[in-house]
Amino acid sequence: MPKHETPMVDQLESGPWPSFVSEIKRQSEARHQKAKEMEEAGKPYQIPVDVCDDLLGVLEMSFKDGTTHWKHGGIVGVFGYGGGVIGRYCDQPEMFPGVAHFHTMRVNQPAGKYYTTEYLRQICDLWDFRGSGLTNMHGSTGDIVLLGTRTEQLEEIFGTLTHEMDQDLGGSGSNLRTPACCLGESRCEFACYDTQELCYQLTMEYQDELHRPAFPYKFKFKFDGCPNGCVASIARSDMSFIGTWRDEIRIDQEAVAAYIGGELKPNAGAHASRDWGPFDIQKEVIDLCPSQCMRLEDGKLIIDNKECVRCMHCINTMPRALRIGNDRGLSILVGAKAPILDGAQMGSLLVPFIKAEPPYDEIKEIIENIWDWWMEEGKNRERLGELIKRQGFQKLLEVTGIKPVPQHVQEPRHNPYIFWKEEEVPGGWQRDIKEFRKLHQR
């Protein structure tokens, strides 16, 4: 018998899709069933047994009232850390005591999100015991998200995580958020650099920035091993690291012929469930190349590599015939963000190509130059992308010491005016017009 009537919330169980409401109900049932067992084992639940029932109850009330019943109740956290815990209190604690406190803890996921089953059992046991048992694997930042606990449990949980599980919290608030990467070289032939290593090394290097909020606002790093962008870094991180190559796509002409002849299935057979008819290389690959830099000549595939924009389409379609180049590294893009203050923005290219090799000093230098500028000039709650819009991409180039290159230009300029800086014009703006003209004719 449910503790609260929740007719509106229950509608979210209809339809063919997985439903978080069904999952919360399952967890509620499991929790009630296991309560006695936990008590007998001397480990009674540390937060109310009906936390999940009250969670659904408060959600129903929010739907009825058309407003949230969660409130911020000041800062909660663990000693020495400024982030990693997101405080939530319910404004109806008498009616829903199980969720009077319902804090979230962010746990730093391992690079590539690899776990042992033993680790997963440990974290679930901990969360059943000291939390609601509800988790989100994974939050959009990448962390393991542990949903719902009480303030007095926070230090206990943190102690178990750090001392028994060798596990750190992630970032929250105005700090470096937990860096996230794709599984990269560990499983993927398209990886142009070791995403997991770079993610790990930067996480270790910037522990202070991760745990002690000192930034104007949040800052995210994400690492994609190639332009397929499995962690969508170009749209979801202030600084996005995308693997690329600067030599040529490697072509195996025999394999190209095998695709054309039908011996090899395109897209590695990923669409085998449907018959798409015979593979047509012209229609499915060459015509879809965004820079139109491919052609067939006497049955051989030719690529004009200097025009290739590394979109990955041809490589994804014919992975046995086409491979990423050998001279690999990454591109750095900056300024992507979701539409919180200003509109949503994708990252802009800052570094077209850089080698990604330990100890990554060049990459760290770029990061720190950007941070110095943003911490000095950024307004409260201004993301890097907004600062770039406000002060200009040129300013970003100056502070990072990166020389302008054609790849920085989105489109040819619309007007003929050229802005000269005073120091670039000997004698300043008041100078003789003749000299000024001479300068333009150089």
Binding site for ligand SF4 (CB under 6 A): 182-184, 188, 190-191, 224-226, 228-230, 289-291, 293-294, 303, 308-315
Nearer Cβ to ligand SF4 (172/331): 331
CB of 234 to ligand SF4, least distance (A): 11
HSE-up of 367 (CA within 13 Å, CB side)?
19
Instruction: Name the strand (E) or helix (H) holding 224.
Output: strand 221-224
| CB of 107 or CB of 242, closer to ligand SF4 | 242
At its nearest, how many Å lie between ligand SF4 and the CB of residue 330?
A: 11
Contact 56, 4 (CB under 8 A): yes
In whole angstroms, the minimum distance from the beta carbon of 206 to ligand SF4 comes to 22
- Looking at residue 109, the DSSP 8-state letter turns out to be P
Which CB atom, from 318 or from 367, has the smaller least distance to ligand SF4?
318
Q: Are 388 and 396 in contact (CB under 8 A)?
A: yes
CB of 262 closer than 8 Å to CB of 278: yes
- Taking CB positions, which residue lies at the least distance from ligand SF4? 225
Please identify, using beta-carbon distances, which residue of 125 and 189 lies nearer to ligand SF4.
189
Beta carbon of residue 114, minimum distance to ligand SF4 (angstroms, whole number): 13
Instruction: Considering the complex, state which of residue 82 and residue 225 has its C-beta at the smaller distance from ligand SF4.
Output: 225
Supply the minimum distance, in Å, between the C-beta of residue 432 and ligand SF4. Answer: 50
Distance, first Cα to last Cα, the chain: 85
Quick one: 288 exposed, middle or buried, by C-beta within 10 A (0-12, 13-18, 19+)? middle
Q: Which is nearer to ligand SF4, 141 or 316 (CB)?
A: 316
3-state percent helix, strand, coil for the chain, nearest multiple of 5: 40, 15, 45
Q: Chain-centre distance of CA 54, in angstroms?
A: 32
- How is 136-202 classified by DSSP, letter by letter? EE--TTS-EEEE---GGGHHHHHHIIIIIS---B---SSSBPPPEE--GGGT-TT-SS-HHHHHHHH
Shortest distance in whole angstroms from residue 309 CB to ligand SF4: 5
**Least CB distance from residue 188 to ligand SF4, whole Å?**
3
Cβ proximity to ligand SF4, 91 vs 284, nearer residue: 284
Residue entry with tokens 């995580």:
161
